[in-house]
Amino acid sequence: MSSKSGKRFETLQVHAGQKPDPSTNSRAVPIYATTSYTFNDSAHGARLFALKEFGNIYSRIMNPTVDVFEKRMAALEGGIAAVAASSGHAAQLMTLLTLARAGDNIVSTSSLYGGPYNQFKVLMPRFGITAKFIHHGRDKPEDYAAAIDDKTKAIYIESIGNPRYNVPDIEAIAKVAHDHGVPLVVDNTFGAGGYYIKPIEHGADIVLHSATKWIGGHGTAMGGVIVDSGRFNWGKHAARFPDMVEPAPGYHGLKFWETLGPLTFIVRARIEILRDIGACLNPFSAQQLLLGLETLSLRADRHASNALALARFLEKCPHVSWVSYVGLEHHESHGLAQKYLRNGFGGVLSFGVKGDCGDKVVDGFKLISNLANVGDAKTLAIHPWTTTHEQLSDEEKIISGVTKDLIRISVGIEHIDDIIADFQQSFAAVAAAADAAARVEVNGQMDGQIKDGEASNGQLENGGVNDEHADSGVLSLINAGAITQDATAKLEAGTVQSQGKESKAAVKESKTEANQGTDTALNGS
């Protein structure tokens, strides 16, 4: 699909926002490692600070390397402008602080990644901003509508939920937001820079990303970005958004909407929130993210195809109890995924392991890394219950879609056969360890019975105990099914007799045959 410029995604990810450096003719984007910039003269500096002219003042607010990244992301998402941040968390915090002030609220979903859920629940109330969470299963458009009040400043959702992988009905939720005069904000991190989905095309007003993930793609740089569609009419909803239309005290009464029109939100995010918080993207990270963007579509194709292949393998695996991937036909959001997603169903899935041994499976991986990230070129695994969602209560984890057995896999771009082979060897190692543990347990039980038998034999030799008492320990194993029928027959044939030595030998023989039977049973399971 082509953009407003007529260029397609694969071309924009390489070229948008940059021309060869005018002073050196460098084709690659230079790293402008500078804190500040000279003014042509004093009058030039005054115009820049008064917002009468756009230009570089200080790298906390703008930097030429970062500027290319911002323009490229705006082009890829179909927005009019973007502001970069030091991380995805910084991007979402800046977005909310641009929209809301103390006493306001946002409406969101409980099916969020643990980080934003905790930020909305714990941090934002310290700023006087609260979140109303719509629980999964009760998150239809009308549920969002019912939660909006006069103090609501945005609806906030994820394009693909993490780790439930639910796909919301973006168009329906956007209509609810606009009918109530609030913008729709979409975290499109799992949308891979707009390659899988462009929320703005479906009614979103503001889109943000953790650029650390698929955009960077190699686990080498942190970053975030906010993209403004420029379509929300702040002037029409002046009573709800006074900061957008009333005189700004920090800029001698400047009226953003009157002066900037469609750029109102994104400029305020830059010159008020980014300026004061200082969560800026540094030029070195910007250059790494730009390198990642150049191969984004190629990687995203492989992420998606590998994820679907792995999901289908896990569906058939006897060690796995369930698989969640939005590309599977039985997933609750598969229909909406077909409506909204293009170029694949994303690169992340979850599954549960039978037998409460998921941690052992993760620890058994040799190719796959156990760490807290997604969107890397490498395949990654994590146990969200004890890591990414650890700060949530058990009830909140369940509501968010996190269960104790859930293992999340961010599928990389390695050859799919090698990824599957790593699962196979880990499953095999865990099964072998379980078999060995079972043998040890059976042997321990048998050793205990032998000792009981030896004690009984000693008493028999002294004339103290009858034959039935000597048999009782072994009979308990027979009743439990731990000794084979052949061994049972020998016992019933009178092998355990009043002579103590013969009784001891029979128990040992029974133990040997019981072990053989156990081996046969375990190998067949």
Residue extents of the structural domains in the chain: 62-294, 426-523
Q: Are the CB atoms for 69 and 294 separated by under 8 Å?
A: no
For 354-388, write each residue's pLDDT tens digit.
988 888 999 999 999 999 999 999 999 999 888 87
- Under CATH, to which class is 62-294 assigned? alpha beta
* Count of CB atoms situated within 10 Å of the CB of 404: 14
Residue 308: exposure state from Cβ atoms within 10 A (0-12, 13-18, ≥19): buried
Which residues 6+ apart lie within 8 Å of 167 measured at CB? 159, 160, 161, 326, 333, 336, 337, 340, 341
pTM: 0.84
pLDDT for residue 303 is more than 60: yes
Which of 348, 328, 350 has the alpha carbon at shortest distance from 338? 328
Q: Averaged over 117-138, what is the pLDDT?
A: 92
Which of 477, 490, 489 has the alpha carbon at shortest distance from 518? 477
Angle at 200 between CA 379 and CA 186, to 5 degrees: 55
b/e per residue 196-206 (b: at least 16 CB within 10 A): bbbbbebbbbb
What is the average pLDDT score of the chain? 88
pLDDT for residue 301 is more than 70: yes
Q: Averaged over 142-148, what is the pLDDT?
A: 97
b/e per residue 336-368 (b: at least 16 CB within 10 A): bbeebbeebbbbbbbbbbeeebbbbbbebbeeb
Query: In this prediction, what percent of the chain has a pLDDT beyond 70?
Result: 84
pLDDT for residue 336 is more than 60: yes
Which residues 6+ apart lie within 8 Å of 180 measured at CB? 145, 148, 152
For 482-512, write each residue's pLDDT tens digit.
334 444 443 344 433 334 444 444 444 444 4
What's the helix, strand, coil split of the chain in %, to 5? 50, 10, 40
Report helix, strand or coil for 492.
helix
Residue 22: exposure state from Cβ atoms within 10 A (0-12, 13-18, ≥19): exposed
Q: Are the CB atoms for 192 and 413 separated by under 8 Å?
A: no
Rounded-to-integer distance, Cα 69 and Cα 29, Å: 10
